[in-house]
Chain A
């Protein structure tokens, strides 16, 4: 057994709770009638943060140096950027 394993479990549990909380925030924002640009940007930002959490903590790419993590980060960045562009176009 490795020294860091307990911490590992703890971080993944915290990550899980964080993901649940962020999801509820997204949902609440919509229910509370936040609209327009702020909703769009806020919700998108939250989605990307959640994505990053999944990639780093759940998929375990946090420890992966070259290629794969940058690749998935680039993915989030590109998809997020293009979606934001489309939503913010006048």
Chain B
């Protein structure tokens, strides 16, 4: 069997061992080489983060060459909805942290309750964002309006789709948790979903100041 020292590959070896329930996983206060959840989701997270990074950086440089346009239209955004949505996502992320903690105690019902709370907040996010979109569209604003809106809509909508995707994953896990599908020693699924949801949050925490605030 060919061995390799590359970190990606050795991480991948971890995947193999993680398909077997591993009783050491509940003790968190020690340094490990493995991130919480399935390593596959981390590879996915890294890939997704790269797409967002590219969008952010292209946004920043395009703005530099279209300062007036960006400043003007940025001011027309409703930064209060942006604020509400940031608080919502952060809180939702926190709920997910609590859900993971709950299942680590072996409390599956509590875990699923926290998860449903997180999903509800996700819904709130979609609602607020939806109202914002509704407002833009009613003014006839669209992808083609100008370069700023091309970016604003693309970026936020791509993120919007990720919120939906994250909610789907959370729902699957919440249902399984409700059925007692996880326990204190075997709950990789919960951690996997949690990691993805935190990523959605992380991206928004950069997106919000970048698009709504910084000028």
Give residues in A with beta carbon < 8 Å to B: 1-5, 8-9, 12-13, 15-16, 19-20, 23-24, 26-27, 29-30, 35, 39-40, 43-44, 46-47, 50-51, 54-55, 57-61, 63-68, 71-72, 75, 78-79, 82-83, 85-87, 89
Is B201 part of the binding interface, using a Cβ–Cβ cutoff of 8 Å? yes
Is B214 part of the binding interface, using a Cβ–Cβ cutoff of 8 Å? yes
**Contact size range, B:** 35 or more
Q: In the complex, which residues of chain B have a beta carbon less than 8 angstroms from the beta carbon of A86? A: 57, 60-61, 63-64
Given A5-B105, A12-B97, A83-B56, 17 additional A-B pairs, CB 8 A? A8-B28, A8-B29, A9-B98, A9-B101, A12-B94, A23-B83, A26-B208, A58-B96, A59-B198, A60-B100, A63-B30, A64-B35, A67-B7, A68-B42, A79-B57, A87-B63, A89-B64
- 14 A-B pairs in the complex with CB atoms less than 8 angstroms apart: A23-B87, A35-B215, A44-B209, A51-B202, A58-B198, A59-B35, A59-B202, A63-B30, A63-B32, A65-B33, A75-B49, A79-B53, A86-B61, A87-B64
From known contacts A64-B35, A82-B57, infer whether A51 and B29 are also in contact, taking CB-CB under 8 Å: no
Q: In the complex, which residues of chain A have a beta carbon less than 8 angstroms from the beta carbon of B133? A: none
**Chain A contact residues: over half helix, strand or loop, or mixed?**
helix
Question: In the complex, are the beta carbons of A20 and B87 less than 8 A apart?
Answer: yes
Complex partner residue of A65 from B31, B96, B194, CB under 8 angstroms: B31
Contact residues, B159-215 vs A (CB, 8 A):
191, 194-195, 198-199, 201-202, 205-206, 208-210, 213-215
Question: In the complex, are the beta carbons of A58 and B28 less than 8 A apart?
Answer: no
Chain B nearest CB from A39 CB (Å) reads 7
Chain A nearest CB from B123 CB (Å) reads 19
A66 CA to B93 CA in the complex, in Å?
Answer: 24
Chain A nearest CB from B1 CB (Å) reads 21
Question: In the complex, are the beta carbons of B91 and A47 less than 8 A apart?
Answer: no
Question: In the complex, are the beta carbons of B215 and A39 less than 8 A apart?
Answer: yes
A13 CA to B95 CA in the complex, in Å?
Answer: 10
Which partner residue on chain A sits nearest B201 by CB separation? A54
Which partner residue on chain A sits nearest B91 by CB separation? A16
Question: In the complex, are the beta carbons of B28 and A27 less than 8 A apart?
Answer: no
Is B15 part of the binding interface, using a Cβ–Cβ cutoff of 8 Å? no
Contact with A along B33-66 (1 / 0, CB 8 A): 1111000001000100100010011001101100
Is B156 part of the binding interface, using a Cβ–Cβ cutoff of 8 Å? no
A23 CA to B105 CA in the complex, in Å?
Answer: 31
Question: In the complex, are the beta carbons of B105 and A1 less than 8 A apart?
Answer: yes
Q: In the complex, which residues of chain B have a beta carbon less than 8 angstroms from the beta carbon of A65? A: 31-33
Complex partner residue of B97 from A39, A58, A67, A82, CB under 8 angstroms: A58
From known contacts A82-B60, A83-B60, infer whether A47 and B28 are also in contact, taking CB-CB under 8 Å: no
Q: In the complex, which residues of chain A have a beta carbon less than 8 angstroms from the beta carbon of B42? A: 68
